[in-house]
Every structure is written in C-alpha cells, then in structure tokens.
Structure 1
Amino acid sequence: MAQEEKATKNIMHATSHTDSCDLAQALKSAVAELYHLENNLPEIRAKGELALQRLLPVAFYSSGQSSVVARFLLNLDRGDRFPFDMTDLRRLDCDIHEDCLLVLKMDHNPLKKVHQYFEDGSTLWESLAKKWGSRDDLHTP
C-alpha cells in the first residue's frame, strides 16, 4: 500500500506543475514505481515467508537473540501492544538480521498479518507474548 500511496502522491504532485514536461516525467516515474512493485511482490513475499518460517523457531528459544526476534514478530502483528526498539536488531547474527529485514519488506505490502502464515498462529503469537512479555505486562505492578 505505501508504494501505491507514494505513486499516487507523485501523480498528485505532478498535476500541480504547470510545465507539461514535468508532468509527463512525474507520471512516468509513478507508473514505473507501480510496475516495479507489481513485478517484485511475488519474490518479496516468497523470500519473506521463508524467512518468517526460519524466525519463528528462533523466537521460541531462550536467548537474547530469541527475545529480539520474538518482540520483532510480535510488534509486526500488534505494534500498539508490543513495542520494539529497532536498534535491538543490531544484537542479531547477520543471517537472523537479514531474515528480519526480509519479513519486514514482505510486511510492507501485506497479504495478511504475520501470525496468519502459521496454522494456529494466534495461539503461537499469544505464547510468544506470554514468554517474552508485552507492554501490558510491563505496566502491571
């Protein structure tokens, strides 16, 4: 959605110009962005789904990296309930870090929420929330 919104804004911005060359270039750029997005989405989603399948088991381990991955996945699903400090991604090994970025890229134009890629995903995500805590848990005395 964000890519489509950006392209729409480019078109809207272009129509405010009086120079027809500027308008034509802006429209050409917006169409190219949409074309690029449409052509790359299947690959982005496939890579993201594979990365998500690798990340979920990591999230259920009991390590510092597991905590980061779990909170990252919880945040993608419910950012209002599960805050996440993006600088924590620096604590991850390179391959796990890359998987997080692939999932984030996939989730930029989501087909569904990340927990919905798994059978009984809601239960899995609630298990992660119980294991790694949520903002609600942090405010409980």
Structure 2
Amino acid sequence: MQNTKAANRDELFDALVRYQEERPAIRDAGTKALARLVPVALRDSGQSRVIGRFLLGLYNAQAYPFQLTDLRSLDAGLFDDCMAVLRLDNSPEQEVHEYLPRGQMIFNQLREYWG
C-alpha cells in the first residue's frame, strides 16, 4: 500500500515536470494559432462564425456556449489552430483575450459579430 502511494506520487510529479517543460511550446503554438484565428473570426463566413463562437466560448462559456460538433465544418488547418488554442487555455496563465494586443477590443468585436 505504501509503495503504491509513493509510486503514484512519483508518477504525478514526473507528469508535472514534463508538463512544465512542454508549457513554453504549448504557449508559443497557442498564441500563434490565436493570432491566425482572430482575423478569420472577424470575417463573414461560415468558418468565421464557428471560430468566433469557439473563441467566445473560451472567453466565457456560460454566456457563449459552443457546440463542439461545429468544429467539424472547419478546414484542417483551422481545426488544428483551434486545438492549439484549446490546449493553451487548458491550464490558463491568463484569459484567452489577454494573449493578444488589444485583446479586449478584439473580443468586444467578436461579441458584436457572433455573440
């Protein structure tokens, strides 16, 4: 019993260390993906609506619920970018809009378009 608890603690510690080592790459990929997604979300297309609603869902899921099945309508590259942003927001260091310069203004626009 004691050995099992110690092994579980070791596994958890190792996983935490691995995650901390991966976090800079996750942050970099996620912020780059976010920068690519925002211009698409501010256009007027079906994919724009999906991306806009996705980003608003990360911003405030209760106010802006998002249907995950909508992601099926995205091109592969946009889908991958959404997954990178979701991974970035999985353990947020800050709110998703705060990764962008003038992020609050951008998300205000997204609310006007897709909210």
TM-score tier after normalising by the smaller chain length = over 0.9
Task: Spell out the pairing of 1:88-103 with structure 2 (5 A cutoff).
Answer: 88-103=70-85
Return 5+ residue gaps in structure 2 as ranges: none
Aligned residue for 2:108? 126
Query: After the TM superposition, which segments of 4 or more aligned residues of structure 1 sit over 4 Å from their partners?
Result: none
Q: 1:86 aligns with which of 60, 68, 74?
A: 68
Aligned residue for 2:98? 116
The percent identity for this pair of structures is 38
Can you list the C-alpha shifts for 1:83-107, whole angstroms capped at 9, x where unaligned?
Answer: 1001111110000000000000011
Q: 2:59 aligns with which of 72, 77, 86?
A: 77
- 2:13 matches 1:31: yes
Can you list the C-alpha shifts for 1:94-130, whole angstroms capped at 9, x where unaligned?
Answer: 0000000000001111121111122221121111111
Aligned AA (1:120) = R
The Cα RMSD (Å) is 0.9
The 3-state SS of whatever aligns with 1:111 is coil
TM-score by length of 1: 0.78
**C-alpha displacement of 1:45:** 0.5
Aligned residue for 2:4? 22
The 3-state SS of whatever aligns with 2:30 is helix
Greater shift, 121-130 or 85-94, is seen at: 121-130
Partner Cα separation in structure 2 for residue 24 and residue 44 of structure 1: 29
TM-score by length of 2: 0.95
Q: 2:46 aligns with which of 64, 71, 91?
A: 64
The 3-state SS of whatever aligns with 1:124 is helix
Q: Which has the higher contact order (CA 8 A, sep 6+)?
A: 2
Return 5+ residue gaps in structure 1 as ranges: 1-18, 134-141
